[in-house]
């Protein structure tokens, strides 16, 4: 479980996050949603330590992360898997080397053990036999899946996904969403997905935290989101004609 309390972050005069709090349970898919510039990626980066919040705390199962030194954070970071918006695969390495990288860095496993783990992760994301391909040879959806395979290589307790289906066609986006949900339930990870994709929200949003202009405006589940009377959330969720037309059917 990850708990954030009163997170504040600003860049110059721009107060990007203004007192965000929330609790993200394990075994369910937690979503942080909001429009562009609402602060969701900044919040994610504060949670994983890429940004330092001016105020507030982030706790990983009771372990206070924000006040830790780089060295102290390493133990928690070994428990974190992260899927980036652009996949962030290492260009100079093959698919196999990308997935094996964290194993090489932090385990004493033999080469065959590491290879077994790589093949298991690739099988889990339906990319068996793609070991020797380079990132440049992969499609957008395949890159995302390799990113997920790398993220789960170390059996993470916490899985973060930054807009996992941006730039993907709707079918591939659903495949990625379902994969994230399956992995979350299978390994009981604390999964946090940053997204503004409404298909993801309605498909996998077990717990949803809605940000607007750097503030938390709403939290709840996908079942509750369709019936909320928060104007800002309604404007966001039912922005498209399709969603407006579908509103009465939820």
Minimum separation from the CB atom of position 181 to another protein (A): 22
Q: Which is nearer to another protein, 142 or 198 (CB)?
A: 142
Out of 12, 13, 52, 105, point to the residue binding another protein (CB under 8 A). Answer: 105
- Write down how long the chain is: 250
CA angle, residues 221, 226, 228, in degrees to nearest 5: 85
Work out which of 6, 54, 90, 155 binds another protein, going by CB under 8 A: 90
Binder to another protein among 69, 91, 112, 227 (CB under 8 A)?
91
In whole angstroms, what is the distance from residue 168 CA to residue 231 CA? 29
Residues 133-172: x where in contact with another protein by CB under 8 A, - otherwise, as a string: ---------------------------x------------
The pair of three-digit structure tokens given for residue 185, joined into one six-digit string: 């339930």
Q: Does an H or E element contain 186, and which?
A: helix 170-187
For residues 143 and 196, which CB has a smaller minimum distance to another protein in the complex?
143
What token pair was written down for 95?
Answer: 């698919």
State how far the alpha carbon of 237 is from the alpha carbons of 54, 117, 188, 198, in Å: 30, 39, 28, 7
For 204-236, b/e burial (b = at least 16 CB within 10 A) is bbbbbbbbbebbbbbbbebeebbeeeeebbbeb
Tell me if 239 contacts another protein by CB under 8 A.
Answer: no
- The tokens for 232 are 């800002």
Q: Which of 9, 40, 77, 117 binds another protein (CB under 8 A)?
A: 77
Count of positions on this chain that bind another protein (CB under 8 A): 24
The binder of another protein chosen from 14, 37, 64, 104 (CB under 8 A): 104
CB of 37 to another protein, least distance (A): 17
Give the separation between CA 31 and CA 94, rounded to whole angstroms: 31
Per-residue contact flags (x/-) with another protein for residues 15 to 54, judged by CB under 8 A: ---------------------------------xxx----
Which residues form the interface with another protein (CB under 8 A)? 48-50, 70, 73-75, 77-78, 80, 82, 84-86, 88-91, 101-102, 104-106, 160
């Amino acid at each position: 479980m990850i708990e954030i309390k009163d997170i504040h972050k600003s860049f110059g005069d721009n107060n990007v996050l203004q007192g965000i709090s929330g609790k993200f349970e394990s075994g369910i898919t937690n979503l942080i949603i909001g429009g562009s510039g609402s602060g969701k990626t900044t919040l994610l980066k504060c949670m994983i330590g890429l940004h330092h919040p001016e105020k507030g705390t982030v706790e990983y199962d009771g372990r206070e992360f924000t006040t830790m030194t780089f060295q102290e954070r390493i133990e928690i970071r070994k428990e974190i898997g992260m899927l980036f918006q652009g996949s962030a695969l290492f260009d100079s390495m093959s698919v196999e080397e990308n997935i094996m990288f964290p194993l090489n860095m932090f385990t004493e496993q033999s080469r065959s053990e590491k290879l077994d783990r790589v093949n298991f992760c690739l099988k889990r994301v339906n990319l068996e036999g793609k070991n020797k391909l380079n990132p440049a040879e992969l499609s957008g959806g395949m890159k995302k899946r390799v990113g997920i395979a790398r993220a789960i290589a170390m059996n993470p307790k916490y899985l973060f996904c930054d807009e996992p289906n941006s730039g993907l066609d709707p079918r591939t986006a659903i495949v990625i969403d379902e994969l994230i949900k399956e992995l979350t339930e299978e390994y009981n990870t604390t999964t946090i997905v940053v997204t503004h994709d409404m298909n993801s929200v309605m498909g996998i949003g077990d717990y949803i935290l809605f940000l607007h202009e750097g503030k938390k405006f709403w939290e709840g589940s996908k079942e509750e989101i369709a019936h909320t009377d928060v104007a800002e959330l309604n404007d966001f969720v039912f922005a498209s004609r399709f969603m407006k037309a579908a509103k009465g059917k939820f």
